[in-house]
Structure 1
Amino acid sequence: MNDDIPFEDIGPIDYLVIEFPADRSPDGSALPLLLDLVDRGIVRVLDLAFVRKLADGSVVGVDISELGFEGDIEVSVFAEASSGLLDNADLDEAAAILEPGCSAAVLVYENRWAAPFAAALRHSGAQLVASGRIPVQGILASLDALETQS
């Protein structure tokens, strides 16, 4: 992490585990979109790691340069993303939910857009006591149910 940003000014930190199908490698099409979020100061990538769960259930790390992304994608920007927040135990835990043969990206990022808001709350003595995320599939199912009721 950047040492010149005081801890109390850091935005909320989230993680994602994105599973890629066993029958095809990630194509890298989302990386330019992630880079755009970084360039606009919306997020800061703290860690980005790739793992593969082998058929026997064992887990191996995969270097981003070994993924064989198609097109003109500059992966070196993310190759150095390692804050130390993500360790081998985290990668093993993430890989535990994968199907054998699948690979995954594990992304840890700071929500820079929310940093001033979060800092103001912390300075006033407030604290986050719950957080969550509604999966897109759940929202789409709810919208479909509402549409069929109409």
Structure 2
Amino acid sequence: MNGAELTDTDNRPDDELGPIDYLVVEFPPGQTRLTGEAAAELVALAASDTIRVLDLMIVYKGEDGSIDVDEFEDIDDLGDLAQIEATLAEVLAEQDLIDIAAAMDPGSAAAVLVWENTWAAPFAVALRRGGGQLIASGRIPTQALIASMSKEGE
């Protein structure tokens, strides 16, 4: 993500941050809300200090390719999600949203979430203080791991 610098929302210097991740979840037309069980789980993760939500937006892509964005504070009826508003650093830039919309289907909406893995911050800080520098990172899809583990058991 190309957004702005992180702000000190919880009195920690930026060099004490944990790893930062993002995800984009596309919803079909008519289903444009991050609500219910998913919202409750996100709030629980933030409340337990497992993560710190840095940005949350809803991107809409019109049938004609136009883009509209609801920033977190512009979303009506946040429900439980209102609890995480104070942690937002608003790190997404306009170009990030344009790039996300390019991958979306016309008529759809997507929730864009950026978070700090606060649970990993002490480990990340210790690595940096020891001279370590991240040179690669990635995710293994759950399905690939399950398939690999199934083959090992055969």
TM-score under structure 2 normalisation? Answer: 0.80
- Indicate conservation of the 8 Å contact 1:47/1:107, yes or no: yes
Pairwise mapping of residues 1-150 of structure 1 onto structure 2 (< 5 A)?
1=7, 2=9, 4-26=11-33, 28-29=35-36, 30-63=38-71, 65-66=75-76, 73-78=79-84, 82-139=88-145, 142=147, 146=151, 150=154
C-alpha distance 4-27 of structure 1, shift in aligned 2 (>3 A): closer
Structure 1: any 5+ residue segments left out of the alignment? none
How many positions carry a matched residue from both structures? 144
Q: Percent identity?
A: 41
1:48 maps to a residue whose letter is: L
Q: CA deviation at 1:89?
A: 1.1
Structure 2 spans left out of the alignment, 5+ residues: 1-6
**In 2: Cα distance, 1:139 partner to 1:19 partner:** 24
- Say if 2:43 and 2:80, in contact at 8 Å, map to a contact too: no
Q: CA deviation at 1:110?
A: 0.3
CA RMSD of aligned residues (A): 2.5
Closer/same/farther in 2, CA of residues 54 and 139 from structure 1, 3 Å limit: farther
